[in-house]
Chain A
Amino acid sequence: MNMKTSFKISLCGILSAAALISFMLENLFPPIILPGARLGISNAFILLSAVLLGGKYGIATLIIKTVIGSIFAGNPSAIMYSLPAGLAALTLELILLHFTSVSVVATSVLGAVINTTVQNLTFCLVTNAVEYLLYLPYLGLIGAVGGVAVGLIVYLVVKKLPENKFINQ
């Protein structure tokens, strides 16, 4: 294992821990208006991991945060609908960032809306609660607001970071 790889794994671990902590802290507050509605600030660390270290590290951060976070929150069944949603959103974000010149903020907004949509559709499928779909448009709107916040955080953090030869090269 060369220094570049060990550096990336260490940074991925730190970002995963930060994502997990922010996820748990956000869970302590009641949801915004509707059940499941949150800004999803922990997603900033996932997107940051993908931008700084590359797609596979971003996916690793996502899996660590979702699996351990759901268990810590006392709701392991959430993995069933959170993980596919997170993977769909992150895949879309990576495609947009790699192949288009759309800003990281717009990428994050679109990712957040996709995340919310996939998560709720999967949730309704798993729990057989079609009535829950009534909340989907509202959750999409709240997700979009969260996407702006996440995109701006990633944009501002990356702007402030110094050039580093180990990062994403």
Chain B
Amino acid sequence: MKKSLFNWVKNSKVFYLKDLFAYAVAVLLIAVLAVIFLILPNTNNTSGFKVELDGKAVLTYSFSTGDYEVFNDFVNFVTIEEVDDGITFNVKNSEGFNKIYISKTEKTAEIVDSDCSVKKDCVHSPKIKDSGAIVCAPHKLKLFPLSDNGMGEPITG
């Protein structure tokens, strides 16, 4: 064990041959994650999208029927606005609001506005299509695609 990290770093070089092992471990870890989460999962074309608040289903939207369903507990918390090529759901509860836009033509979904936090990660998240999810952690809201199997279907518990 080194007595002084300061002295060691001060007298160290920016690169040692042993660094290659550390870089190799980092690359290997990213590669393993890519294989597990990008290559192995089977994703189907999405049949629609679902929104959950704290694990409870709020609404679903189906591309095949073009219908949406707002579940009973949340009828008073959701306002809907239909536009030419999509539909907007404004989900509002005691935590705040999230404005969700689903494009009927592109078959994508995104959160376009929220009052969740300074960072607003959910608003900056890329649109989702057949896989992935958009999570608004402060509001405990999750938007994800519906499909028959694969990563699109959430594991709930």
Q: Is B22 an interface residue (CB 8 A)?
A: yes
Q: Across the interface, do B138 and A131 meet the contact criterion of CB distance under 8 Å?
A: no
User: What does DSSP make chain A's interface, helix, strand, loop or mixed?
Assistant: helix
Q: Across the interface, do B155 and A130 meet the contact criterion of CB distance under 8 Å?
A: yes
* Total chain B interface residues with beta-carbon distance under 8 A: 56
Q: Is A56 an interface residue (CB 8 A)?
A: no
CA A77 – CA B119 in complex, angstroms? 13
CA A101 – CA B5 in complex, angstroms? 11
CA A73 – CA B119 in complex, angstroms? 7
Q: Is A78 an interface residue (CB 8 A)?
A: yes
Which of A13-21, A23-31, A59-67 interfaces with chain B? A23-31
CA A155 – CA B6 in complex, angstroms? 10
Q: Is A50 an interface residue (CB 8 A)?
A: yes
B41 contact set on A, CB distance < 8 A: 134
Known: A97-B5, A129-B135, A131-B152. A34 touches B125 (CB 8 A): yes
B125 contact set on A, CB distance < 8 A: 34-35
A163 to chain B, nearest CB (A): 8
Known: A35-B122, A106-B22, A144-B26. A169 touches B4 (CB 8 A): yes
Q: Across the interface, do B118 and A105 meet the contact criterion of CB distance under 8 Å?
A: no
Q: Across the interface, do B137 and A107 meet the contact criterion of CB distance under 8 Å?
A: no
Q: Across the interface, do A158 and B10 meet the contact criterion of CB distance under 8 Å?
A: yes
B137 to chain A, nearest CB (A): 6
Mark contacts of A22-56 with chain B using CB atoms, 8 A cut-off: 1 yes-contact digit, 0 otherwise: 00100110110111100000000000001110100
Q: 13 A-B pairs, CB-CB below 8 angstroms?
A: A24-B118, A27-B118, A28-B118, A75-B119, A97-B8, A101-B12, A105-B14, A106-B15, A113-B26, A123-B135, A127-B135, A137-B33, A167-B6
Chain B residues in contact with chain A, CB under 8 A? Answer: 1-10, 12-16, 18-19, 21-23, 25-26, 29-30, 33-34, 36-38, 41, 55, 116-119, 121-122, 124-126, 131-135, 137-138, 140, 142, 144, 151-152, 154-157
Given A103-B15, A131-B131, 14 more A-B residue pairs with CB atoms under 8 Å apart are A35-B135, A77-B137, A78-B137, A97-B8, A100-B18, A101-B12, A106-B18, A106-B22, A113-B29, A113-B30, A117-B33, A131-B133, A137-B34, A169-B3
Chain A residues in contact with chain B, CB under 8 A? Answer: 24, 27-28, 30-31, 33-36, 50-52, 54, 72-75, 77-78, 96-107, 109-110, 113-114, 117, 123, 127-137, 140-141, 144, 147, 152, 154-155, 158-159, 161, 163, 167-169
